Amino acid sequence: MAFKQVQTKKISEVIREQLEEMIRRGDFKPGERLDSVEKLAKEFNVSRSAVREALSALRAVGLITIRQGEGTFINKFDFSELIAPVAETFISKQEMLELFEVRKILEAGAAKLAAENRTDEQLAEMKNALVEMDAAEGNQDLGEKADVKFHLAIAESSGNNLLKDMMHQMAETLGKTMYESRRIALFADQEQFHRLQVEHKAIFEAVSSRDGEEAERAMLEHLRNVEQTLIDFHEEQ
């Protein structure tokens, strides 16, 4: 009999789960500032690096905002009630198409804005995500995480705080539903893997060149291709 390997949680993941539960439960109010990293590390009796990693994960899903020199704040905008119901059940083909409509509207615009507003540091974040995707060949989980990281880096570079918050919340929801199907369908073979890389790099090059129209076009093409692949995958099941 084959047994699955037992996976232990990292300390940062335990901290993130506890903080996320407290935020969603309402223990922290929108706009409220969290304790400093040093204080949280003492309260959890862990290292500051573990706290920072947990806070980075919370920021990645849009639950907090970290302001340099000011502190960490609970986000005022929470779009989970708008899209979470879809994530709690099996996603139908129609729901998938509707979610992709939203993605195309938001992410094409985000790519255009990113090309116009990105900083060198933000461009480096996108580049790092591309490198991680290249290194993740053969590792579906890491490839998926790097893919999400790339799209969030685009949103972060848009300069629009509301759009960033919406994209972070979308990423959390899609991570429970569509990204799982996306991982199965798109990372299933080498040809699909390399096509994804080419599409992501086209988006990156347009943003790097500050070509807003090309960045918008490249993002739309990428999302349409992903959407069609998922449609084909669902129809084959």
Domains of the chain with bracketed CATH: 11-74 (1.10.10.10), 80-236 (1.20.120.530)
- Band (pLDDT 50/70/90 cuts) for residue 92 is low
pTM attached to this predicted model = 0.61
Q: What is the pLDDT at residue 1?
A: 43
Of 60-69, 112-121, 186-195, 217-226, the range with the lowest mean pLDDT is 186-195
Q: What is the pLDDT at residue 80?
A: 47
Taking 80 as the threshold, does the pLDDT of residue 56 lie above it?
Answer: yes
The pLDDT mean for the chain works out to 79
Higher pLDDT, 25 or 78: 25
Mean pLDDT of 157-166: 88
Q: What is the pLDDT at residue 142?
A: 60
Q: What is the pLDDT at residue 176?
A: 54
Model confidence pLDDT, tens digit, residues 60-85? 777 888 888 888 988 864 444 444 44
DSSP character at residue 2: -
H/E stretch holding 67 reads strand 64-67
Strand partners of residue 67:
71
- Top mean pLDDT of 63-72, 82-91, 162-171, 224-233 is at 63-72
